[in-house]
Amino acid sequence: MQSPNNNSTGSRKWSDLTPQMVLAPTVIAALIWVIGFSLWTLWISVSNSTLLPDMTYHGFEHYAKLWGSKRWTVAYQNLFIFGSLYVIGTLVVGTVLAVLIDQRVRFEGIWRTIYLYPLAISFIVTGTVWRWIFHPNTGVELALHDMGWLAAKFDWITDRDLALYVVVITGIWHASGFAMALILAGLRSVDGDLVKAAQIDGASMPRIYRKVVLPTIWPIFVAVTVVLLQFAIKTYDLVVALTQGGPGVATTVPAIVVYDLMFQRGQIAQGAAAAVMILVALALVLIPYAVWTGWQKRKEGARHG
């Protein structure tokens, strides 16, 4: 605990630099892994690498090949379908839960704890559990057969056209408590007088929420959407545990293609190109959001003088 350069006694000059020196390892590490690693992967994506890194320049052919492969275009398409349904579904369920809890219910803490716990457990556990439930050999379908309904069919997870919706449902189950927590915090910040005024005007509760309360907390919805889009773009473990990208390529997402190209097929340049595309997708979500929040803050600052 004793510091080597206690600045009340030590030389003035060195003690002045203590903060910088303590911060230096982090700065160096961040420079290497944030900037350096990004450039590194970027370079690999335009290099000659196949099974092993080969740093000679090759050009953008790997990107062209990537976008020419059906696997990748399907993965990107899946990301759009999964991403939009997942975000919308999570927001809707999260809002419903938040509004329900906002009705001055008893045992609020218990309800919240129940809805939020999926977020604490891993995507691997979540995916494994739901795979057992959705799979016709172990889950709902078998249970229905066992109960005597022999014609019952529930095999979305093995159906090429429907498997992606299984991922969506599981994703919503995992994240809606998170949306609930943030939206509820927003609801609690709404001015009570606003609601009372609407009540005096004779508006019903659902109408008040729709027309008055929820519109006032729209920045929270934007923030939650941005975070969920980030989750969606990075989705990997959940799909691995749930469907492994299948059946066929039905639930393949970009992150799975990256892993496959890099570590299963020995195409690390093309894998790096796919990783760069994930970074681009994230940037397309995050940069506008950062600009927008910066602009909002400046506006706030101007208003407060």
Partner 1 sequence: MAEAATHQEFDPLATGGTRRRITSKGIVYGALGLFALIYLAPLMIILLNTLRPLDDIVRTGFIALPEAETMSLKYWAEAWGTFCIGGTCEGVSRFYKNSLMMTIPATVLSTMFGLLNGYILSKWRFRYDGVIFGLITLGVFMPQQMTLLPWAFVLGKLGLSNSIAGLVFVHTIQGISFTTLFCRNYFVSIPDDLIKAARIDGAGFWRIFRRIILPLSPPIVIVTVIWQFTGIWNEFLFGTVFTSGANQPITSAIVAFSGSGTGERHYNVEAAAVIMAAIPPLIIYVLGGKYFVRGLTQGAVK
Contacts to partner 1 from residues 223-262, by CB under 8 A: 223-224, 227, 230, 233-234, 236-237, 240-241, 244, 255, 258-259, 262
What tokens were used for 93? 């369920």
* Alpha-carbon gap, residue 11 to 54, rounded angstroms: 49
Rounded to 5°, the CA angle 132-238-99 comes to: 90
Site size for partner 1 (CB under 8 A):
108
197 binds partner 1 per the rule CB under 8 A = no
Site for partner 1 in 54-93 (CB under 8 A): none
Q: Which two tokens stand for residue 42?
A: 């970027």
- Distance of alpha carbon 196 from alpha carbon 209, whole angstroms: 12
Which whole-number Å values give the CA distances from 296 to 183, 216, 283, 300, in the listed order? 19, 15, 19, 6
Using the rule CB under 8 A, which residue among 279, 292, 298, 299 binds partner 1? 279
Residue in the block written with tokens 């959001």: 289
Looking at the Cβ atoms of 60 and 191, the one nearer to partner 1 is 191
Region from 20-28, 54-62, 68-76, 81-89 binding partner 1, contact rule CB under 8 A: 20-28
Q: Which residue reads 């350069």 in tokens?
A: 5
Using the minimum distance from each CB to partner 1, give the nearer residue, 85 or 187. 187
Instruction: Please give the residues from 111 up to 170 whose contact with partner 1 meets the rule CB under 8 A.
Output: 111-125, 128-133, 137-143, 146
Q: Could you say whether residue 218 binds partner 1 (CB under 8 A)?
A: no
What is the Cα–Cα distance from 251 to 243, expressed in whole angstroms?
A: 7
The answer to whether 182 contacts partner 1 (rule: CB under 8 A) is: yes
Q: How far is the CB of 247 from partner 1 (least distance, A)?
A: 12
* Distance from C-alpha of 138 to C-alpha of 75, rounded to nearest angstrom: 27
Compute the least distance from the CB of residue 201 to partner 1, in Å. 12
Q: Which H or E run contains 46? A: none
Minimum distance between the CB of residue 184 and partner 1, rounded to whole angstroms?
9
Least distance from partner 1 to the Cβ atom of residue 302, Å? 20
Among 13, 19, 56, 300, binds partner 1 (CB under 8 A): 19
Q: How far is the CB of 116 from partner 1 (least distance, A)?
A: 7
Helix, strand, coil content of the chain in percent (nearest 5): 75, 0, 25
Pick one of 162, 189, 210, 288: the residue that binds partner 1 (CB under 8 A). Answer: 189
Distance CA 274, CA 253 (A): 11
Token digits of residue 299: 């506006």
Best CA proximity match to 49, nearest among 296, 271, 302: 271
Q: Which one, 88 or 140, has the nearer CB to partner 1?
A: 140
